[in-house]
Structure 1
Amino acid sequence: MGLYDAARLFGFEVESSDNLRFIPLAVRFNLDRFGLRITLDQWQQLPYEDRALLARFPIEEEAGLEKNFDLALEEMMKTHANAAPEPIERDPDPVWMHADAVPETVIRQSSLSGVSAPSLDRWGKLDRFQRYALAKLSRNTDKVNHDFLPAMKEFGLAE
């Protein structure tokens, strides 16, 4: 699989990403997958075209262009932000990879958002990128994430 035709955004991200001003989940997914970190400021230093290109990289495991994401990001960062992506430790067993257990953070964020947590059956039917999105959006269990409820609605888990 090659690059997507357009930036890979969930419906709820279109408004909240503010024309790619914020880092979309597809880019966050690839950053996590490659064990890289960039700041929001660094992201915003990249030209819009570069941000859109990074959001077009595939999220599938078998993608032939996978390795090019980190190389493209590194070159863009060097050129436009005079920096390099920070290497971080990759999670060898992220919670979103497990279709057989709803993460505690997702349960907590559901409660904070005033909706029922996904049932195990419905959680298991989500694709791994949807599970990643909900897990990522529920990391902070102290306050409501403004994108969590719209994501739950988009994925058919809340009304």
Structure 2
Amino acid sequence: MTPQAIDVVYFRFENDFVDSLRCIPMVVRYKLDTCGIKLKLPEWVKLSVTEKKELAVHPCFTADEREHYRYFLQNMVLKRCFHEASTLPPVDAAWEALNEVPAEVQQKAAEWNCASLTLVQWIRLDVLQRFALVKLSRSGHEGRNFPRALQEFGIA
């Protein structure tokens, strides 16, 4: 079963690659983390543009949707890459916390000479925006998109 055709809103800071989907967009990264699958870039590039778009629109919010997404994705990777996708250990879902702004986000803001985020600003962000800031704060992610994201989200 494939998801209904709906528009996916990608972040503007992803404009460098979102037209071609050569990199995994945040909306898909969020779904990967929530369903416990690690999709490697070599696996991602073997998927068709249509399959990548399906992964972006496929629902992955409830427990049933996460299980279906995991099954859907595993079958897709098996079909294209001839092996199962790796699973992730439980992730620290700091983006779900609404009682404080994660320290890693505040630290990254300081590194970029951006103002610290207030708790009110953090709470006003939607879950995908909070996820993006947490991911962009962690090592291994291109740092130049962090201030772009803050600006896009109306914080900087």
TM > 0.5 = yes
Amino acid in the other structure paired with 1:75:
N
Instruction: Name the TM-score, length of structure 1 as normaliser.
Output: 0.85
Mapped partners of 1:129, 1:63: distance in 2: 17
Structure 1 pair 4/151, CA: closer, same or farther in 2 (3 Å)? farther
- The yes-or-no answer on 1:42 pairing with 2:40 is no
SS across alignment from 2:105: helix
Instruction: Give ranges in structure 2 of 5+ residues lacking alignment.
Output: none
Q: Which amino acid aligns with 1:76?
A: M
Offset, 1:64: 6.7
Q: How many residues align?
A: 154
Shift, 1:62, TM fit: 4.2
1 or 2, which has the higher helix percentage?
2
1:135 aligned partner: 134
Q: Is the 8 A contact 1:35 1:88 kept in 2?
A: yes
Distance 1:4 1:123, change over 3 A: farther
What is the aligned partner in structure 2 of residue 21 from structure 1? Answer: 22
Identity %: 29
Residue ranges of structure 1 left out of the alignment (5+ in a row): none
Q: Quick one: which amino acid aligns to residue 58 of structure 2?
A: F
What is the aligned partner in structure 1 of residue 149 from structure 2?
151
CA-to-partner distance for each residue in 1:46-103, whole Å, 9 max, x for gaps?
11111111011235x3497443321221111111111211112123x52111122111
1:8 and 1:55 in contact (8 A); partners too: no
Specify the code of the residue in structure 1 equivalent to 2:118.
S
Q: Which moved more, 1:27-36 or 1:61-70?
A: 61-70
After TM superposition, the structure 1 = structure 2 runs for residues 6-155 of structure 1, keeping only pairs within 5 Å, are: 6-17=7-18, 19-59=20-60, 61-62=61-62, 65-91=65-91, 94-140=93-139, 145-155=143-153
